[in-house]
């Protein structure tokens, strides 16, 4: 099983390095990311959940790590993350189900289950 917490930390470091070495493209992407994820008609949490579902469909493990982490930071609970994974499976079919398993690993690493299941609140 991949360590998604370590992957997130690793990618943060490498992306920061890219920001130093190619500041204009990475700075542009950082601004795009911030503006796209800011609260608006949709909350940041909803946008992170959308990004997680897309990450499953396109098969991007780094994206799964990032958007699971950021969805949890934005307040997503286990039920919301699991429903998002289900949407990713529905949109991605068979290959999506493989990356859904990766997303479940990431969910359980960033939001560990304590005393059974999350109550969804």
**What is the per-residue pLDDT across 26-77, written as a single tens digit (0 to 9) for each?**
999 999 999 999 999 999 999 999 999 999 999 999 999 999 999 999 999 9
CATH superfamily of 4-110: AhpD-like (1.20.1290.10)
Q: How confident is residue 120, by pLDDT bands cut at 50, 70 and 90?
A: low
Phi, psi of 34, deg, nearest 5: -60, -50
Tens of pLDDT, residues 83-100: 999 999 999 988 899 999
**Region label for 38, one of left (φ > 0), alpha (ψ between -120 and 50) or beta (otherwise):** beta
DSSP annotation of 114: -
Length of the chain: 121
Q: Which of 48, 42, 17 is nearest to 110 (CA)?
A: 48
User: What residue has token string 């909350």?
Assistant: 43
The model's pTM is: 0.85
Q: Which are the contacts of 23, defined by CB distance < 8 A and separation ≥ 6? A: none
């Amino acid at each position: 099983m991949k360590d998604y917490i370590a992957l997130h930390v690793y990618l943060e470091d490498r992306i920061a390095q890219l920001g130093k070495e190619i500041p204009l493209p990475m700075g542009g992407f950082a601004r795009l990311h911030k503006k796209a994820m800011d609260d608006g008609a949709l909350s940041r949490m909803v946008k992170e959940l959308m990004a997680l579902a897309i990450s499953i469909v396109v098969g991007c493990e780094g994206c799964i790590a990032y958007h699971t982490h950021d969805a949890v930071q934005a307040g997503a609970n286990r039920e919301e993350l699991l429903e998002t994974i289900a949407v990713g499976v529905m949109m991605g079919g068979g290959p999506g189900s493989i990356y859904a398993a990766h997303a479940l690993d990431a969910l359980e690493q960033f939001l560990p289950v304590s005393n059974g299941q999350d109550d969804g609140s």
